[in-house]
Structure 1
Amino acid sequence: MGQKRQCATTIINTEQMKKYIKMVISMAILHLSYTASAQEIDTLFTKRKIDYATYIGLVGKNNLEYSAEKFNINIAEANILSAKIFPDPELGFGFADNGQRRMNMGYGFNSELSWTLELGGKRKARIDVAQNEAQLTKLLLEDYFRNLRADATLAYLLTIQNRHLLDVQFNSYQQMKKLAEADSIRFRLGSITQVDARQSKLEAGTMLNEVYAAQAEWKTALANLSLLLGHREADTLLYPKEDFTGFDRNFILQDLILTAQNNRSDLKAALQHKNVSQSLIKLAKANRAIDLGLSMGVDYNSYVRNVIAPTPSFTTVNAGISIPLKFSNNRPGELRAAQYGMMQAEQLYRQTELTIQTEVTQAFYNYEAAQKQVSQFNTGLLAEAKAILDGKIYSYQRGETSLLEVLDAQRTYNEVQQNYYQTLYNHAAALVELEKAVGIWDINF
């Protein structure tokens, strides 16, 4: 009787050993297929690593829109040269013939050189306007780069965030794919129902689609870096090296507002716009002054052979001054327009000053909130969510919990990770926006 029991036990152990060997072989095969699938998901493409310092330097040199804006400086300098030009002189020639051939009345030639003498300081006023406009153009270009630098930095940070979000989706897919493969084996061994095996396989397929979507967003962000750099290699994407580090700062709001009022290029441009308006008023007043027309001419009359009144040939020299009658001074439209422009520039300057104060205040509070959110994650939220997920998976594999609980834990862990990386991005972006609002820049990570 004991011998029969021993034989039965041996048979059972043999069957269990066969099942164990079968499971190990199946897991090995599935592991190989999983590795191949992972390689297929992370598609290879040509990429060139670039650090932030190099990237932002190339943006300043190669960005096409910024390069186009730089031509405004050349245009403004050319306008200064144009403003320095004196009025051109005029040279005229004439011929006279009375048409009396029978009476031999003769003919004549005349020539005249005329020039406008500008009075009232018109030329100096034009030069002042052109120089002030050139200075305004330089400040506007500086403000353009202030915004471009911030936008380029945000684009760089976005690629880092999208890479982390892709990793979250991909790791989640890996976890679910392993679970689906294990469920397939457990179903064949009779440990779970076919519905549970199908459910885990369906979830893995759904997560794979999310991986593809995250991958597309990441590559789209990488392509945007090439646009900002004026990069023309369509088959190569720039790949950032850095991570979300080095974005902690301590600021005092009142100091930031004072610094912004001293540093912001758009406020300097608003002040310079007032200078341009003042120079336009001076130009309008100068244009109301009377200009003198100076002229000098030579006339030649040929010999008149008329028998009644013969006249020898002669040459005359004349000079003259012409004074325009400035009836247009009774209609001071240009002067009034310049004066209203000055009043408008004053209001815009005050509005810009108020806007800067508001922008700095808002950016400061947003940065403070982002700092608090980052510190919240440092209390162990990620580790707690990971521990819950691992516990649910372990319990599910032992048949102590349902697949739905595992999926809920997986989604919670994904959301915590996604919120973490989005919070890191928001923290870095808040610092970028704050320094952009203040008009300072010390970002280098």
Structure 2
Amino acid sequence: MLTRNFAAFLAIAAATPACAQSMSAPAYSEDERPIVVGVAISNEAALTPLSLDDALGIAVQNNPTLRGARADADASQGTFIQAGVRPNPEMSFLQEGFGGTERTTTALVNQTVELGGKRRARQDVASYGREVALASLDGRAAALRSDVVVAFYGLLASQRHLQVAQESAAIALRSAELAEKRARVGKVSPVEATKARVAATGAQIEFVNARIRVSTAVEKLANVTGSPLVQGRFAIGDIETVPPVEPLSQLLQRLTDAPLSRIARAEMLRSNAAISVERARRIPDITFSAGIKRVITGGIRDNQAVVGVSIPLPLFDSNKGALLEAVHKAEKANADFESERARLQLELTQAYANYESSTQAARQLKTDVLPASRQALDAVSRGYELGKFSFLDVLDAQRTLFQGQSQYVQALTDAHLAYADIGRLVGMPLRTHADQTTNLP
């Protein structure tokens, strides 16, 4: 009867829309066929695999934030071009008198000549602004890669948790059936059979919750990539394969050319270049004029050449306030650069420590804890059948194994998350990833 109840429970779970969607992301390795728990799939070929490279490619084409960063980088080219443009010439026309025999007509072309290096200063500011935009694009790409890696391995972890929950439910079901059989023949108390049924029900609930978490992980990946193309697909990959990282000393050296450092440095240089712009504006520009003047006096026409020069007198506005503002903003940018560099070093050190600790924890769980827990469960289960152990011993062994499996998956997930965070900080390119990987022994 307990088996029928378990089958009915799985059927109800499969009918849930969220759970049904989660079955598009079952847990399995690349060499295995898709594992779909509790639901029979008639056409497995309809499920399309999704690798990390596939998810990254979808993100490159569809992520709106990355598209915005590209547009901003393209716009910075126009800003730089415009910064180098010289002032346009001006045409002026002056008419004095409107009589037929007495009038004067003057036509002039005026050209302003910038002094003090204004054009060069504007170009410097624009060039550093373009560097900010390009570094921001690289930073956005590195951050997007990190987000995709986190979401993808979160999906793989959810699929592995689903697999663990399936195994847990199956083991709990077998234990409950065995307890019922022993209770019927009077070898154990009916209380133990009740405890076994409770444990089996709890495992079934955890199984359904694991399926819902898979569905949630799929939605997170779709949100990160900016496309629903990842939905209706199952993730493929080996979560136990953790990419290696360089030593911390080398990673800290790479921070100098990391996008976030480049952004802060370019902002600092742009602010310092803005001082030159404001200082140059204190020097007046010269406007040269040249033209012709036609004079009609008593019906006699006379043409005369006209030249002129005009220079503003900086008596009231010497641009002192703007220059003072630029100087203090440059000081702030310098302080921000130092602060950003220290922050990046701290975050990278923490991410590296998280990577080391989680990788070591996963290694110990795989080599020591999980084999011992599984052997203990097998031994206690055989002893329970022989009447040497109580069912509480079986439950404790089951709980230890399931907890160890969950901890192992979580440690692997933390290792991948730390690796993704390191890639974000050092500016790992979006479409490349480590070809060499480290398999946990």
Shorter chain as denominator, the TM-score bin is 0.7 to 0.9
Q: Deviation of residue 148 (structure 1)? A: 2.2
What is the RMSD of the two structures over their aligned residues, measured on CA atoms?
3.6
Structure 1 residue identity aligned to 2:415: H
Work out whether residues 30 and 181 of structure 1, in 8 Å CA contact, stay in contact via their aligned partners in 2.
no
Q: Deviation of residue 320 (structure 1)? A: 2.3
Percent sequence identity is 23
**1:131 and 2:127 are equivalent in the alignment:** yes
Work out whether residues 223 and 238 of structure 1, in 8 Å CA contact, stay in contact via their aligned partners in 2.
no
Work out whether residues 260 and 356 of structure 1, in 8 Å CA contact, stay in contact via their aligned partners in 2.
no
Q: 2:301 and 2:266 mapped to 1: Cα distance?
A: 64
Q: Aligned to 1:352, which of 340, 344, 355?
A: 340
Give the number of aligned pairs.
407
Q: 2:12 and 2:387 mapped to 1: Cα distance?
A: 28
| TM-aligned CA distance change 1:238 to 1:318, over 3 Å | farther
**1:335 and 2:323 are equivalent in the alignment:** yes
**1:66 and 2:71 are equivalent in the alignment:** no
**1:208 and 2:208 are equivalent in the alignment:** no
Q: Residues 184-238 of structure 1, C-alpha deviation per residue, up to 9 Å, x if partnerless?
A: 5555666655544444333322222211211111222123223333323475235
Work out whether residues 226 and 237 of structure 1, in 8 Å CA contact, stay in contact via their aligned partners in 2.
no
Structure 2 residue identity aligned to 1:443: A
Mapping for residues 183-332 of structure 1, pairs under 5 Å:
183-184=179-180, 195-233=191-229, 236-248=232-244, 252-257=247-252, 259-297=253-291, 318-328=306-316, 330-332=318-320
Bigger radius of gyration among the two = 1
Which ranges in structure 1 are unaligned for 5 or more consecutive residues?
1-25, 304-309
Q: Deviation of residue 51 (structure 1)? A: 2.6
Which residue of 2 is the match for residue 169 of structure 1?
Answer: 165
Which residue of 2 is the match for residue 414 of structure 1?
Answer: 402
Q: Deviation of residue 410 (structure 1)? A: 1.8
| TM-aligned CA distance change 1:344 to 1:32, over 3 Å | closer
Structure 1 residue identity aligned to 2:74: N
Q: 1:434 and 1:313 mapped to 2: Cα distance?
A: 82
Structure 2 residue identity aligned to 1:216: I
Which residue of 1 is the match for residue 111 of structure 2?
Answer: 115
Work out whether residues 64 and 230 of structure 1, in 8 Å CA contact, stay in contact via their aligned partners in 2.
yes
Provide the secondary structure at the position in 1 that maps to 2:233: strand
Structure 2 residue identity aligned to 1:318: V
Q: Deviation of residue 38 (structure 1)? A: 11
Q: Deviation of residue 107 (structure 1)? A: 6.8
Q: Deviation of residue 350 (structure 1)? A: 2.5
Work out whether residues 222 and 231 of structure 2, in 8 Å CA contact, stay in contact via their aligned partners in 1.
no
Worse-matched range after superposition: 135-144 or 176-185: 176-185
| TM-aligned CA distance change 1:112 to 1:31, over 3 Å | same
Which residue of 1 is the match for residue 434 of structure 2?
Answer: 443
Q: 1:435 and 1:297 mapped to 2: Cα distance?
A: 64
Work out whether residues 152 and 235 of structure 2, in 8 Å CA contact, stay in contact via their aligned partners in 1.
no
Q: 2:73 and 2:141 mapped to 1: Cα distance?
A: 14
Highest relative contact order (Cα 8 Å, sep 6+), 1 or 2? Answer: 2
Work out whether residues 47 and 239 of structure 1, in 8 Å CA contact, stay in contact via their aligned partners in 2.
no
Q: 2:6 and 2:350 mapped to 1: Cα distance?
A: 53
Q: Residues 288-346 of structure 1, C-alpha deviation per residue, up to 9 Å, x if partnerless?
A: 1111223345566778xxxxxx6556666533222111225545122222222332233
Work out whether residues 51 and 240 of structure 1, in 8 Å CA contact, stay in contact via their aligned partners in 2.
yes
Which residue of 2 is the match for residue 431 of structure 1?
Answer: 419
Q: 1:299 and 1:189 mapped to 2: Cα distance?
A: 126
Q: Aligned to 2:362, which of 374, 380, 388?
A: 374
Q: 2:265 and 2:7 mapped to 1: Cα distance?
A: 67
Q: 1:240 and 1:50 mapped to 2: Cα distance?
A: 6
Work out whether residues 176 and 193 of structure 2, in 8 Å CA contact, stay in contact via their aligned partners in 1.
yes
Q: 1:133 and 1:202 mapped to 2: Cα distance?
A: 64
Q: Deviation of residue 125 (structure 1)? A: 1.8
Q: 1:266 and 1:413 mapped to 2: Cα distance?
A: 43
